[in-house]
Amino acid sequence: MSQEPSGLQPDLPSKGVPAAPRLQLTGITKRYPGVVANDGVSLTVQPGEIHAVLGENGAGKSTLMKIIYGAVKPDAGEVRFDGQPVQVANPQEARQLGVAMVFQHFSLFETLSVAENVWLGLDKSLSLAEVARRVTETATAYGLEIDPARPVHTLGVGEMQRVEIIRALLAKPRLLILDEPTSVLTPQAVDKLFVVLRQLAAEGCSILYISHKLHEIRALCNACTVMRGGKVTGVCDPRQESNASLSRLMIGAEPPELDRRTRPVGEVVLRVSNLALPRESPFGVDLMDISFEVRAGQVVGIAGVSGNGQRELLFALSGEDQRAQAASISIANQAAGRLAPGRRRALGLHFVPEERLGRGAVPDLGLAPNLLLTRSEAVGTLGWLRTGLLTRQAEGIIARFGVKAAGPQAPARSLSGGNLQKFIVGREIDAKPRLLIVSQPTWGVDVGASAQIRGELLALADAGCAVLVVSEELDELFEICDVLHVIAKGQLSPPVPRGEATVEQIGEWMSGLWHGDVQQRLHGMEGAAHAAA
């Protein structure tokens, strides 16, 4: 911590005079066509308080945070900052007040470098070289390692999130808003981030923390406001609550238990054999001798810290990168390493990318037209679209997966992150794939919807689909996978059955430290065989 002091000093009121709330919202209302996102919301955050905002997808949390940050103007209500009424017209004015925000959907310029993106939000008296130095110091001190010279378009989702967090920390905020900040961070990185946040709070910074991870809220926050349907439904001290009671406050019920059952596995549907690909950019990762298989009726998970080859592996599997040897990737016994994405879909592969907007969905297109990215049932003779069928398909997915949207023609960008994720995952599951590859399946999704998505993945495997899940959520992988791998520095660990794996072991393997473990296990097996003989 001493490497990057925040420079913040706690607000010390005169003796006997209580400090004004750092932030006070009264009667905040925001309406959109067909929906009231915030309905008379009131919220108070004290100096040095870590305050959670909890609610299911579409509850109005992100809209409220954007109002505080000046990115959205409320239709009614009052905002006070340090006791003074303010009207925050834009994010620049919010930053001048001392408000910093880490968005769930990143606000980064992909053609610029990490340092240039950070520089945009800081005092321009600093040189770019000085900003790059501070980025490196902050990244090292807080365990958020990133190369300041690296172009943003070469980063994975987890690495982009690190950039957003570092940019917010360097702004020396008085109020820090974090929208799903740990959704693609490893447990070790989360622990380090929590140390940072507690230190900031001790120095007087107030923190608004949005997360669907109930155990994180209970461990970190000392106040919690619960929202449902755009309204505040309760305020509590999360340290006095259980995961079950917080879930009931948020969604009115506890999430359903997953129906895990022992299922027979069938033939190999995906086989990767000695896949080796040099990086396409100077900041990419070389894939080295990767081999694994996924069988029908099996859920295989790949864990790893973002930026260790997941992006390159997923591009090779989906067909976005067709440089692999044809035989190094086999789908349904067909050599697929050189096939285009459409040809792979014809073999039964469906794919959920980690980036929702831009790759998973076209932001300005409606949900129904977005089905055409991977579905062709509504494409008729000579390419004519059967729009009625397309609309019915979208309506079916919206209903089945509980997607909160203004209808099948609602633009993808109008949905909250969690609701868009439910739609994209639902689109691919609804296609009844033979092989489903999904990256970060429950990123930014509330506890009820997370349980539903994971249940649907298990049901898909029960029906005989081969499922490959790439995720940085270890709890998720342990909950749904039959077999686990770890990817680190472009190399893949051997498979380990879920029943034999531990979180500690997988956490160590995420640093590439599996070779000694594997040798030890093999030695133990040889010793047991020798003793039996």
Domains annotated for the chain, with CATH where assigned, are 20-98+173-251 (3.40.50.300), 105-172 (no CATH), 268-348+433-528 (3.40.50.300)
Percentage, residues of the chain above pLDDT 90: 61
How high is the pLDDT of residue 282? Answer: 82
Q: What is the DSSP string of 458-511?
A: HHHHHTT-EEEEE-S-HHHHHHH-SEEEEEETTEEPPPEEGGG--HHHHHHHTT
Average pLDDT over residues 211-232: 92
What does the pLDDT read at residue 18?
A: 62
SS3 category, 516: helix
CA 158: distance to chain centroid? 8
The pLDDT of residue 13? 47
Phi, psi (deg, nearest 5) at residue 389: -65, -40
* Lookup: tokens for 168: 């917010």
**How far is the C-alpha of 362 from the C-alpha of 355, rounded, in Å?**
11
pLDDT digits (tens, 9 = 90+) for 439-484: 999 887 878 888 889 999 999 999 999 999 999 888 889 999 999 9
Residue 201: what pLDDT?
Answer: 94
- For 273-326, how does the pLDDT look when each residue is reduced to its tens digit (9 = 90+)? 999 999 988 878 999 999 999 999 999 999 998 889 999 999 999 999 999 999
DSSP state of 183: T
For residues 77 and 155, which has the higher predicted lDDT (pLDDT)? 77
- Give the per-residue pLDDT at 520: 54
pLDDT of residue 7: 36
Best-predicted range by mean pLDDT (20-24, 93-97, 162-166, 197-201): 20-24
Q: Tell whether the torsion through CA atoms of 392, 394, 399 and 401 is positive or negative.
A: positive
- With H, G, I as helix, E, B as strand and everything else as coil, classify residue 268: strand
The whole-number pLDDT of residue 78 equals 96
Residue 15's pLDDT is 52
Q: Which of 210-214, 407-411, 515-519 has the highest mean pLDDT?
A: 407-411
pLDDT in tens, 388-411: 999 999 999 999 998 989 899 999
Task: Give me the chain's average pLDDT, please.
Answer: 88
Nearest-CA neighbor of 211 among 59, 90, 106?
59
Structure-token match 């020396």, residue found: 172
pLDDT band at 354 (very low <50, low <70, confident <90, very high): confident
Residue 529 scores a pLDDT above 60: no
Average pLDDT over every residue of 345-373: 94
Instruction: Say yes or no to pLDDT of 179 above 60.
Output: yes
pLDDT tens digit sequence for 85-110:
999 999 989 999 999 998 876 778 88
| Model pLDDT, residue 532 | 53
Interatomic CA distance for residues 23 and 43, integer angstroms: 8
3-state secondary structure of 154: helix
